[in-house]
């Protein structure tokens, strides 16, 4: 269903507001560079600090700019089930291909609570759902058993796995089957994840290296391992630099160096430090994104 390099889109800001023109230009550039899919309003898009109106507008802008050229997987998660249902219903009405729904943060639901949360969204929204399992941000970790239970529902179609546990995709594949769409949430181990049963990556680095990330995934799918591994190695300094401070601070600064947007973030995030700026710039030069 979904595969390859799927970018976790940043949300450009200018003077405190969403820079709509910069965002749509950025989306168009991503598609022209070969990105296989788009995720607006995820963690990288600073969804926790978007108002509901902004969230809906960003999804609509992304779908409009994509123009059906690649699928849009709208971030619609919340720690409130009713809010997640409302956002997912909106994504469906706007024309999204699927929704990316994060495990509820702060509430710390049990495995049964996780199941009932996702089932309620599934039953109410009528849109394919990719579970976003990221214990480092949400504190809770969906078990493979709970995911297998959810996968029995027709519109629970896959997972974005940001556990950094490379045994997890193989266990999931064995438990659920190869038709369940497994996407990595960790750039640095994206190809290793594919080798364990994955089919792509929802990527932060693709914000600034869309062509290279897409080419790496294309090479994997075609069996050109020499090219794939060369690109994997080339991109590693960038992957590291994108997380030397809390994301999306570093990737926004990197995008600003390419002239794609400002490096403005919203509180409680702050612009990255001078040391991080140097690390990011050096990585981009090493990878070949800057001279």
Residues 203-241: tens digit of each pLDDT: 999 999 999 999 999 999 999 999 999 999 999 999 999
In a domain, 235, yes or no: no
DSSP state of 57: H
| Phi, psi of 13, rounded to the nearest 5 degrees | -120, 150
In a domain, 283, yes or no: no
pLDDT computed for residue 122 by the predictor: 98
pLDDT computed for residue 1 by the predictor: 81
In a domain, 237, yes or no: no
- Rg value, the chain, Cα: 18
State which residues form the domain around 113.
4-222
Residue range 264-278: mean pLDDT, rounded: 98
Annotated catalytic residue within 115, 160, 253, 260: 160
Please check the confidence at residue 149 and state whether its pLDDT lies above 90: yes
Is 132 an active-site residue? yes
Is 108 an active-site residue? no
In a domain, 229, yes or no: no
Residue range 144-161: mean pLDDT, rounded: 98
In a domain, 87, yes or no: yes
pLDDT digits (tens, 9 = 90+) for 33-76: 999 999 999 999 999 999 999 999 999 999 999 999 999 999 99
pLDDT computed for residue 68 by the predictor: 98
CA atoms within 13 A on the CB side of 6: 31
In a domain, 131, yes or no: yes
Please check the confidence at residue 103 and state whether its pLDDT lies above 90: yes
Rounded CA gap, 84 and 61, in Å? Answer: 19
Rounded CA gap, 109 and 140, in Å? Answer: 7
CATH number at residue 56: 3.20.20.70
* Number of structural domains found in the chain: 1
Annotated catalytic residue within 105, 108, 132, 260: 132
DSSP state of 185: S
Please check the confidence at residue 287 and state whether its pLDDT lies above 90: yes
pLDDT computed for residue 218 by the predictor: 98
Please check the confidence at residue 138 and state whether its pLDDT lies above 90: yes
Cα dihedral sign for 269, 271, 275, 281?
positive
């Amino acid at each position: 269903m979904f595969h390859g390099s799927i970018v976790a889109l940043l949300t450009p800001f200018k003077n405190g507001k969403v820079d709509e023109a910069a965002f749509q230009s950025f989306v168009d550039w991503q598609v022209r560079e070969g990105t296989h899919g788009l995720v607006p309003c995820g963690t990288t898009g600073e969804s926790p600090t978007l108002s509901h109106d902004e969230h809906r507008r960003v999804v609509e802008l992304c779908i409009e700019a994509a123009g059906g050229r690649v699928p849009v997987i709208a971030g619609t998660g919340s720690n409130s089930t009713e809010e997640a249902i409302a956002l997912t219903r909106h994504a469906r009405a706007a024309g999204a291909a699927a929704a990316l729904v994060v495990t509820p943060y702060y509430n710390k639901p049990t495995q049964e609570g996780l199941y009932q949360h996702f089932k309620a969204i599934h039953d109410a929204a009528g849109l394919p759902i990719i579970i976003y399992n990221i214990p480092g941000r949400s504190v809770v970790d969906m078990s493979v058993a709970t995911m297998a239970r959810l996968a029995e529902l027709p519109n629970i179609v896959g997972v974005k796995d940001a556990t950094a546990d490379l045994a997890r995709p193989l266990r999931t594949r064995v438990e659920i089957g190869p038709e369940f769409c497994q996407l990595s949430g960790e750039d640095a181990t994206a190809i290793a994840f594919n080798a364990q049963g994955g089919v792509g990556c929802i990527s932060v680095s693709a914000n600034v290296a869309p062509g290279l990330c897409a080419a790496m995934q294309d090479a994997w799918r075609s069996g050109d391992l020499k090219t794939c591994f060369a690109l994997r190695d080339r991109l590693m300094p960038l992957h590291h630099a994108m997380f030397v401070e809390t994301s999306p601070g570093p990737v926004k600064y990197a995008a600003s160096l390419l002239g794609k947007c400002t490096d403005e973030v919203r509180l409680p995030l702050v612009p990255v430090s001078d040391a991080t700026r140097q690390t990011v710039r050096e990585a981009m030069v090493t990878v070949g994104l800057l001279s």
